[in-house]
Chains A and B, each alone.
Chain A
Amino acid sequence: MKVGAWRAFVLIVYRELCLSFRRPEHLFQPLVFFLIVTTLFPLGLSLQLSQLRDIAPGVLWVAALLSSLLSLDSLFKSDADDGTLEQLALSGQGLTLIVVAKTCAHWLLTGLALVVVSPIVAIALGIPTAAFATMMMSLALGTLTLSWLGAIGAGLTIGLRRGNVLLSLIVLPLATPLLIFGAAATERAISGTSAVGALYFLAALCVFTCTLAPFAATAALRITLE
């Protein structure tokens, strides 16, 4: 029986979501990590709330990057370990389609979840509620871009024993533009000026990676799977 591309995409996303919801701790751990890292900054720096507001965009974004990075390792790893990934690759569907589906599912489970949790952190850091929409928008675009970049890195480091550290080493330098524009957008929103410019830059980066990264990630998987 031949399964159409769209149906295959939906099935893979559904499978990923099912697997994650059956092991909810994997879902919550990166989010808890995100909360803990952001609480560490005020504890370590012991600042007033007004000073905290100045460093809030940076803290928020660094914590978001780190916690997304934490979950990237699992993007292909468990499927590669038990051979599911090879079966998927042999299934007759294009490998790119599989990469796109898995990355989308990964973003829904980590990036989108992070966006949903971010207002809690934002309140703790003293970010005004008027800035929430821009902040969440920038985080949504940023985490999606990061998922694509991470797909390349995760594809390259699948078979490696200490792949996790190497993954950070590969992905973080490429993710610095996200940090710059994301923090800039949040900062503008806090100070009440227009954040449109930085958001456009983030959106451009997002479109750029959405269109090209799937092919790079597919090539990476081809190299490491063989």
Chain B
Amino acid sequence: MWTWFYKLASPPYVYGVAAALMPWLLGTAALAMVYGLIAGLAFAPPDYQQGDAFRMIYVHVPAAIMSLSVYMVMATASAVALIWRIKVGHAVAAASAPIGASFALLALVTGSLWGRPMWGTYWAWDPRLTSELILLFIYVGVMSLRSAFEDHARGDRAAALLAVVGVVNVPIVHFSVVWWNSLHQGATIVKLGAPSMPGSMLWPLLSMWLGFMLFYGAVLCTRVQAEVLNRERQAAWVREAIKS
């Protein structure tokens, strides 16, 4: 029953799976995002307070959620790689870091563009904004630490440890709006009870979220393939894989 799980530790198997999954993930991501964008930008009603400016939500919120989710994926893969010495874990973590950093940057940029018409400023030193920025810095730290070592294996493990240590920031970002008095609005979707949003606004958002997740999966597959190839460049199966 667990054999599929054990197989995930084998680089050639992961390389094959990633290659097979990639087009499916990319296709479904495109579908979900096309629906989400059309329904969100054209058919969802304008917000009673924010008017049409609220439509920024369809990029901003999924990007912000993904910046945290990708961090958790990276930290989990790092922990797995450190504890059980599974090299594929390092490949997944190394592949995830730039994607997560891009999501964090996207969330910050769209957030500040949204903040200009709504709050009257591009940037406020608000807990949630600040902790998201710190998340970006931690991503940058993990990536630079990995590349600072000449010995790849050592850089991988050092970056993995830092990624695991950096997990303490994730609950801080998530709960910052609850703990501190913040300009940023509180949880709207993921909370106990019904979401405080009508379905015509909510469904496109959920679809965008799904689309972002699938898109992450697709990009991750591509990057993991590259990472695995680079790490296993001495192995015989790589020569076979590249020839075919």
Residues on A facing B (Cβ under 8 Å): 152, 156-157, 159-160, 162-163, 166, 169-170, 172-174, 176-177, 216, 219-220, 223-224, 226
Is B233 an interface residue, CB under 8 A from the partner? Answer: no
How far is B130's CA from A156's CA once the two chains are assembled, in angstroms?
A: 25
Besides the known contacts A152-B162, A174-B138, A220-B161, 18 further A-B residue pairs in the complex with CB atoms under 8 A apart: A152-B165, A156-B162, A157-B148, A160-B149, A166-B145, A172-B137, A173-B134, A173-B137, A173-B141, A173-B166, A173-B169, A174-B165, A174-B168, A174-B169, A216-B161, A219-B82, A220-B158, A223-B154
For the complex, count residues of B whose C-beta is within 8 A of A: 22
In chain B between 139 and 159, which residues have their CB closer than 8 angstroms to a CB of chain A? Answer: 140-141, 144-145, 148-149, 154, 157-158
- Interchain Cβ contacts under 8 Å between A and B, 8 examples: A152-B162, A152-B165, A156-B161, A157-B145, A157-B148, A170-B145, A173-B137, A173-B141
| Residue among A159, A169, A170, A216 with max Cβ neighbours from chain B (10 Å) | A170
Contact call B165/A166, Cβ cutoff below 8 A: no
Contact call B138/A226, Cβ cutoff below 8 A: no
How far is B161's CA from A219's CA once the two chains are assembled, in angstroms?
A: 8
Is B172 an interface residue, CB under 8 A from the partner? Answer: yes
How far is B82's CA from A170's CA once the two chains are assembled, in angstroms?
A: 19
Residues of A within 8 A of B154 (CB): 159, 223-224, 226
For the complex of A and B, list the 4 residue pairs with the smallest distance between their C-beta atoms, beginning with the closest.
Answer: A173-B137, A223-B157, A170-B141, A173-B134
How far is B134's CA from A223's CA once the two chains are assembled, in angstroms?
A: 25
Residues of A within 8 A of B134 (CB): 173, 176
Contact call A160/B141, Cβ cutoff below 8 A: no
Contact call B145/A156, Cβ cutoff below 8 A: yes
Contact call A177/B144, Cβ cutoff below 8 A: no
Residues of B within 8 A of A223 (CB): 154, 157-158, 161
How far is B101's CA from A160's CA once the two chains are assembled, in angstroms?
A: 24
How far is B159's CA from A224's CA once the two chains are assembled, in angstroms?
A: 11
How far is B157's CA from A163's CA once the two chains are assembled, in angstroms?
A: 16
How far is B82's CA from A157's CA once the two chains are assembled, in angstroms?
A: 18
Least Cβ–Cβ distance between A96 and chain B, in angstroms: 15
Contact call B137/A169, Cβ cutoff below 8 A: yes
| Residue among B130, B157, B158 with max Cβ neighbours from chain A (10 Å) | B158
Residues of A within 8 A of B138 (CB): 173-174
